[in-house]
Amino acid sequence: MSRRYFGTDGIRGTVGVSPITPDFIMKLAHSVGRVLRRDGSRPTVLIGKDTRISGYMLESALESGFNSAGVDVVLLGPVPTPAVAYLTRALRADLGVVISASHNPFEDNGIKFFSAHGAKLPDGWELEVEAMLDQPPAWVNSAALGKARRLDDAAGRYIEFCKSTFPNDLTLKGLRIVVDGAHGAAYQIAPTVFHELGAEVVAIGCSPDGLNINLNVGATHPQALVEAVKAHRADFGVALDGDADRLQIVDRHGRLFNGDELLYVMASDRLRTSQALGLPRGPEMAGVVGTLMTNMAVELALRDAGFEFVRAKVGDRYVLEELEKRGWQLGGEGSGHLLALDRHTTGDGLVSALQILKAVVRSGEELADLLSEVTLFPQTLLNVRLKPGQDWKNNERLQSEIAAVEQELGTNGRVLVRASGTEPLLRLMVEARDGNVARQLAQRLADAVVSV
């Protein structure tokens, strides 16, 4: 059974266009509340948001919908998505709700949910909510209506949590760090975390006005960070996205490190630390999860370090599913969604940044030196528009060309062919040690698609 409203990361769209309208969001909260109350309990739900101007409107709609179903609400104000996951678990709430469209522009917004354990909810729960949406509302009587209150120290609690993931015997003193908050949910929290751990902080992208979230700043526009690091002669730059679950890092030379590279640094640091302490390598350290898009050079380097490597579908929820299934700790995407399940239940840009800085400070090496075993393979990605009804899977020339390209690459590259989930496009990716080879082979595949 397919979902009508929920995508890979909750419900998202343009504000004022269905389903991101106040009436639907209120109905959604009412339906979620009814699902929560099926066992007869009186649930408590936390609601956090990013800095979009539409957050006020959607927060009010959620509050009304939950209260009408007999659910109590705790309003957290502007806090990162992973802060909601943490506080839901820490406060023993029944559900966490985030109002955010992550890295999208301010015109968009969305709703996503966390379980009582601070984890993404399964597809089955989302289908149950969608089924409830089809039923007429069932308002509780006045005596059973839910209440709402604000948690004034939500940001402070989360700041202390982030700091707790950084070793007590280490400090960031002596480091100048540019912190780019994307004018988003971490605009106050992120600079405070690094400052309280000892760093000299230069803040950019930390002046939200409701309309400028992710606008030419943040993890999706890292050039602003690169320029600021150079201008301030900083040691590092840390960029988050609008809801602070995504990370990009720049070193003092202006080199930008993507999520694939940072994932390798996290894994190799964990291994190096356990070896230094003489600890056995437990099953949680057996492997690392990436995605179909993870650079092959990272896969090879992790395997050389003794890690098993598994690729999940693109999307941090699928990375998390693989980690939980295998009992592993580390996974992530090149976009900067990184998971360290021994630190948090979900991807967290701030916590991930602290894990990288921990590796640098403890080793005394430059970040680039920690990646001496990794030279990323050039990737060529081509999008080929499909004709209506075109069956690319049974295109004999394409399948033959894919087999030929894979044989030519051998262990020096790989091919990924997948259909877009939102447009009539076929995405062709070729990765090779030589960028010219990757481009030539990708074009051969594209030619095979359009030949039909």
Q: Which residues are catalytic?
A: 102
* CB-based contact 249:289 (threshold 8 Å): no
* 399 vs 316: CA distance, rounded Å: 29
Contacts of 274 (CB under 8 A, 6+ apart): 280, 281, 285
* 315 vs 369: CA distance, rounded Å: 29
Side-chain half-sphere exposure of 321, counting CA atoms within 13 A = 13
- Residue 419, sorted as left (phi over 0), alpha (psi -120 to 50) or beta, turns out to be beta
* 323 vs 310: CA distance, rounded Å: 9
Biggest CA–CA distance in the chain, Å, is: 72
Edge-to-edge strand order for the sheet containing 338-340? 308-312, 287-291, 330-332, 338-340
Task: Please state whether beta strands 256-257 and 247-251 pair in parallel, antiparallel, or not at all (unpaired).
Answer: antiparallel
* CB-based contact 102:84 (threshold 8 Å): no
CB-based burial, 277-299: b 16+ in 10 Å, e otherwise? eeeeeeeebebbbbbebbbbbbb
Edge-to-edge strand order for the sheet containing 413-419? 379-385, 425-432, 413-419
* 11 vs 6: CA distance, rounded Å: 5
Scan for tokens 């998505």, then name that residue: 81
